[in-house]
Amino acid sequence: MDFKFSADQIALKKMAQELVAKEITPFIHEMDEKNEMRPGLMQKFHEAGILNLVVPEEYDGPGLDALSIALIYEELGKGCAGIATSAAANALASYPVVVAGNEMQKRKMFDALNDGKLAAFALTEPNAGSDAGGVATSAVKDGEYYVLNGTKCFITNGGISDVYTVFANARKSAGIRGLTAFIVDRDTPGFSIGKKEDKMGIRPSNTTELIFDNVRVHESMRIGREGEGFKIAMKTLDAARPLVGAVSVGLASAAFEAACKYAKERQQFGKPIASFQLVQAMIADMAMAVETARLMVYKACWMKDQGMDYQLESAMAKCLAADVAMKVTTDAVQVMGGYGYMKEYPVEKMMRDAKIMQIYEGTNQIQRLVIANNILY
């Protein structure tokens, strides 16, 4: 792996940094308080070319490699993990189509993303989190259509998307063997948005329920074959998890930088607290953790770009980076003491944001099972 970024990658990092500085940083606290992103922000992301990063060049997209996408998401994570999550949801929702979609489905999904529309990935349900086989949303065949009934929960961009990748069970009591993926448009009769969640962290990211009440979806919108949904979902999550890791690295890096700045400025006992060895030890541990997580994320992305088997490294990248984000943001609050606990400073929000990194797109406990199974069997 070459550790030197290309000129294009450096330009992408700079673009993301400038976008964060102009469109995110000045409004972070307002968006966090209001539990929503500010109007027009995703349009700015569209204009910057961030909403269609995974769309291949042959479908009029940038066709970026995984490492380049990770560099962008890392910078977005530094600015606000919630906004980064909303942007990354477009990639997550489109990966099933990349993995198993036909030509018509690819045109439909990719044209939507190229036009600046938002997409959502709908797998999780009230009784189906880590256990994807527990999906109860049904898809009953009726002629050329499938009739969908059920409820999804905790769906990123659920209330603001135009198109959804939905997983439902097409075979009663079949578990994962019946899981099937569909493309569902927002304006489909019977489809509605449920409650909007009031979250601890990543609050600018829209998170809602989705309700399916006799929603008729034409069989042409079925992604892959009936019963292939679990395989499609797992391949999708393998591709997406290093990008969750990238957001986590950005979040941890921002907390680390804030702690370092504070430690050099804060005076106690007549000297900066950065001169105290116990504070220095915390700073050193934070630095090593952030850099280790960053390298793991970059390796997983590089392996994907090389066409190598990267399932193990994908799980490692997500798990390690999420744990690092939680530890580093917590330690940043500790370095800053009482001030770190106050909303006047940014690290309390970062600590709240970090927790979800260990939960969504496969809990870190699930990642450890994936890691162990890859090593032992």
Domain spans in the chain, listed from the N-terminal domain onward = 7-114, 119-226, 230-376
Percent of the chain, pLDDT > 70?
100
Task: Check whether 346 has a pLDDT greater than 80.
Answer: yes
Q: Do domains 119-226 and 230-376 have the same CATH topology?
A: no
Residue 123 — pLDDT band, cuts 50, 70, 90?
very high
Per-residue confidence at 173, pLDDT binned at 50, 70, 90?
confident
pLDDT of residue 3: 85
Query: How confident is the prediction for the chain on average, in pLDDT?
Result: 96
Task: Give the pLDDT confidence of 64-120 residue by residue, as tens digits.
Answer: 999 999 999 999 999 999 999 999 999 999 999 999 999 999 999 999 999 999 999
CATH topology classification for 230-376: Butyryl-CoA Dehydrogenase, subunit A; domain 3 (1.20.140)
Q: Give the residue numbers marked as catalytic.
A: 361
Answer whether residue 317 shows pLDDT above 80.
yes
Q: What is the 3-state secondary structure (H, E, C) of the chain?
A: CCCCCCHHHHHHHHHHHHHHHHHHHHHHHHHHHHCCCCCCHHHHHHHHCCCCCCCCHHHCCCCCCHHHHHHHHHHHHHHCHHHHHHHHHHHHHHHHHHHHCCHHHHHHHHHHHHCCCCEEEECCECCECCCHHHCCCEEEEECCEEEEEEEEEEEECCCCCCEEEEEEECCCCCHHHHEEEEEEECCCCCEEEEEECCCCCCCCCCEEEEEEEEEEEEHHHEECCCCCHHHHHHHHHHHHHHHHHHHHHHHHHHHHHHHHHHHHHCEECCEEHHHCHHHHHHHHHHHHHHHHHHHHHHHHHHHHHCCCCCHHHHHHHHHHHHHHHHHHHHHHHHHHHHHHCCCCCCHHHHHHHHHHHHCCCCCHHHHHHHHHHHHHC
Q: Note the CATH number of domain 119-226.
A: 2.40.110.10
The average pLDDT across 15-40 equals 97
Q: pLDDT class for 295, splitting at 50, 70, 90?
A: very high
Query: Quick one: CATH architecture of 7-114?
Result: Orthogonal Bundle (1.10)
Q: What does the pLDDT average to over 317-343? A: 98
